[in-house]
Chain A
Amino acid sequence: MTTIRPNSFRSGPDERGHFGIFGGRFVAETLMPLILDLEKAYAQAKADPAFQAEMDGYLKHYVGRPSPLYFAERLTEHLGGAKIYFKREELNHTGSHKVNNVLGQIMMARRMGKKRIIAETGAGQHGVATATLCARFGLECVVYMGAVDVERQQPNVIRMEMLGAKVVPVQSGARTLKDAMNEALRDWVTNVHNTFYCIGTVAGPHPYPMMVRDFQSVIGNETRVQIQEMEGRLPDSLIACIGGGSNAMGLFHPFLDDPSVEIFGVEAAGHGLTQLHAASIAGGRPGVLHGNRTYLLMDEDGQIQEAHSISAGLDYPGIGPEHSWLHEIGRVTYLSATDEEALAAFQLLSRLEGIIPALEPAHAIAKVMELAPQRPKDHLMVVNLSGRGDKDVPQVGDILRGKKS
């Protein structure tokens, strides 16, 4: 199959929500009227300067943006190649990039008069961000979380409850992120009259992949300005981890039309690509789930397979549809990092830079460790440090102690 290269990589999706063959609106009829309403409301908000101004105010004073672009001097020295910068999304209020998108969606919910917010969460970062903004704006909040994830991300469960959210452990299927999303969709179908579904990543039915991308693009837009201030030019490469892919899309999108910028997404290879993993592009093929067509892990009958990653935030058998498209047209290169590699990167970064990363961006750091030494010293590499590791400290502590004994 030959793919026609578009004039711009930033013009998608089309009016039906398609990025090439990916995306779309594969949802039950009950949800369709609301999805069409949301599309219309979002188009109006996007054209409304007051909406953007209000967003900017909260992003600055509540979230703490802009997040710094930081030169990781010791990691750069240690790896001996490319000059490495971190986009410090882990310094945002609530500890990850998730808050950028949640703020936008909560403001949409307010515009649409919806008083009840539901969300799915894997690592709990999206759940915490949603619970936080619901507290801030006095909205009811219900978060669906796989029972396995409730277990391995206890600190975030406690945080969500402190913020007044109701956390519902999901017992169906593999009891991780995919099943949490199924359960959130079931809630939405039931309570569609008063409920806004705050999706945590660049996936789901149109307009979600586009809307979440737009809200997260603040990451790449800031990076463009910051790197030019610090280095007087654009970066040579970008790298970010990918579960659904919202932190990656936020960093990548503003650079898609700059051909000199090489772009790398890092999927979770779990125990390795021939075993249990969560790398939908490396190990999957196009299918339809959760409202969109995209790369998915599945068997020959089209049944969705269980993903595995040490990182709850990447433990999902799919990926956002725009990433599937960027992969097929070859604009972004998708790599993968195993649990072991991510753990090694987690420890290296903690000791070299005094930054304990979340296990999710530790996957991106793992590939930086591979790519940076192969690049010249004047190569500028920006990595999205999408979340902080506080939530992972108990889990990683157990793993490391287990290894020692």
Chain B
Amino acid sequence: MTTRIEARLAQLKKEARSAFVTFVMAGDPDPETSLAIVKALPQAGADIIELGMPFTDPMADGPSIQAAGLRALKAGMTLRKTLAMVRSFRASDDATPIVLMGYYNPIYIYGVEPFLADAKTAGVDGLIIVDLPPEEDDELCVPALKAGLNFIRLATPTTDDKRLPAVLANTSGFVYYVSITGITGAAAADAKAVSAAVSRIKGHTALPVCVGFGIRTPETARSIAEHADGAVVGTALVDAVRGSLDGEGRATAKTVSAVADLAAALAQGVHGAKQAAE
């Protein structure tokens, strides 16, 4: 069975284009505005949407994404509501892949089996769980694959050739290469190092490789996309949400367009890349 992720990446490959992967936090700054943002992303050029599942203790995230999660939680967001949001999105868009990204505890508390069943029904296509390395595959990865969801693994600069096969073993959909050692939104990605890393990973797998962490501008997005099957932008979009809020942290008339406009500019950068290269 092909997931929306696999279908979308196969189609982009045919068109010789890189994927523009967007990350926003579910429920940021409030559930309704967040749904409107997500609905606007495909039109702005997003090929795949990563939806953050808010968590109180995001140990791999920088200040921007931490704050976005806390805004969402303050607005009453829960994992149940995140799944409901995906369902609402699917009512009008059955093609754009949705990947849920976050930490394991809320899923563990929801219950792995009920979560996988509800996520599949809601229209989720894949999962990225930061604190589940291959050593803990029995927890969620293996059941998720059985349930027909992609389990997308992070590979990092510290994942050497000896370890890569273990990391790739149960990975599906695509490989998410974390371009820096660090938290989200920190250092800038270096295109040359990324290029070498992507080639290294491709030596071990036929899966597409998307690159994230440290991509903020259309220029960086373009230079990274030239060397990868996709570029992921998160912190910059989350910062656009924050920048559009009023003094009390509430959404304004500009919130959705602030994110959509930035996404459109970044999409141009990414989509310009492979055409220029080939």
Contacts and interface: CB of A to CB of B under 8 A. Distances in A.
Given A190-B181, A302-B110, A290 B133 contact: no
A301 B135 contact: no
Contacts of B55: 302-303
B73 interface: yes
Interface string B208-222: 000000000000000
Interface of B: 54-63, 66, 73, 78-80, 103-110, 130-136, 153-160, 163, 167, 178, 181-183, 186
Contacts of B158: 29-34, 192-193
B211 to A, nearest CB: 14
Contacts, number: 116
Q: Give the most central of A27, A192, A296, A302: most B CB within 10 Å.
A: A302
Interface residues of A, number: 36
Interface of A: 16, 24-34, 172-173, 178, 182, 185-186, 189-193, 287-291, 293, 296, 298, 300-304
Contact of A186 (B59, B73, B80, B132): B59
Contacts of B108: 287-288, 293, 302
Contacts of B66: 172
The 8 closest A-B pairs by CB, nearest first: A302-B109, A302-B106, A190-B182, A30-B156, A301-B78, A185-B59, A26-B131, A304-B56
Contacts of A190: 181-183, 186
Nearest to B103: A288
B178 A301 contact: no
A31 B66 CA distance: 20
A290 B59 contact: yes
Contacts of A189: 59-60, 181-183
Contacts of A193: 158, 181
B180 to A, nearest CB: 8
Contact of B136 (A25, A173, A185, A300): A25
Contact of B159 (A27, A33, A186, A290): A33
B61 to A, nearest CB: 8
Contacts of A32: 133-135, 158-159, 163
B247 to A, nearest CB: 20
Contacts of B156: 28-30
Contact of B181 (A182, A192, A289): A192
Contacts of A34: 158
Contact of A288 (B73, B105, B135): B105
A25 B134 CA distance: 10
B259 to A, nearest CB: 24
A29 B105 contact: no
Given A172-B66, A302-B107, A178 B133 contact: no
